[in-house]
Structure 1
Amino acid sequence: MGEKAIENRVKKLKAIEEQMKALEVEADKLKEEIKKEMEARGTEEMQAGNFLVRWKSVIGSRFDSKAFQKEHEALYGQYLKQTEGKRFTVA
C-alpha cells in the first residue's frame, strides 16, 4: 500500500472519528434530557412506548488499590507484573 493510500485511509479514519464524537455528544445530550425528565417525575423507571427506561442507583464495591499500595507498599510490589501492549495513534 502506498503512502497516498495510507494518507487517504487516515483522512477517512479522522472523519469517522469526528462523526463518532459528534454522535456521542448528541447521545449524551439525549440521555441527560431523559434523566432530567425522570428526575422531575420522581421515578427510576418508566415506560416510553415499547421501551422500558431505567435510571437507578447502583451500589458496588471496588478494591482501592491506591490505599492498599500506600498502606502495604512492599506487599503491593510483590504482586505487580509488567505488561506489554501497542498503542495506535495518529497525530
Structure 2
Amino acid sequence: MDKTELNSKVKDLRELRRMSEEIAAEIEAITDTIKREMTAQGVDMLAGDDWKATWKQVQSARFDSRAFKVAMPDLYERFTRSAETRRFVLA
C-alpha cells in the first residue's frame, strides 16, 4: 500500500471514529431519556409493541486487587503475572 492509500485509510478511519462517537453520544442520550421516563413512572420495566426495557439494581462482588496488594504484598506478587499486548494508537 502506498502513502496515498495509507493517507486515505487513515482519513476514513478518523471519520468513522468521529461518527462512532456521535452515534455513541446519541445512544446515551436516548438511553438517559428512557431511564428518566422509568424514574418518572416509578418502574424498573417498560414494554412496547416489540421491545422491553429494564433498569434494575444489580448486586455484584468484585475483587479489590489494590486493597489486597496493600494488605498482602508478598501474596500479591506471587500470584501476579505479566501479559504483553500491542496497542494501536492513531494520533
TM-score band w.r.t. shorter chain:
over 0.9
Task: Please report the TM-score for the alignment, with normalisation by the length of structure 1.
Answer: 0.97
Q: Deviations over 1:29-84 (max 9, x none)?
A: 00000000000000001112211110011001111111111100011011111111
Which residue of structure 1 lines up, in the alignment, with residue 77 of structure 2?
A: 77
Higher relative contact order (CA 8 A, sep 6+): 1
Aligned AA for 1:41?
Answer: Q
Task: Please report the TM-score for the alignment, with normalisation by the length of structure 2.
Answer: 0.97
What is the root-mean-square deviation in Å for CA atoms of aligned residues? 0.6
Runs of 4+ residues deviating >3 angstroms:
none
2:64 paired with 1:61: no
**Alignment gaps of 5+ in structure 1:** none
Aligned residues: 91
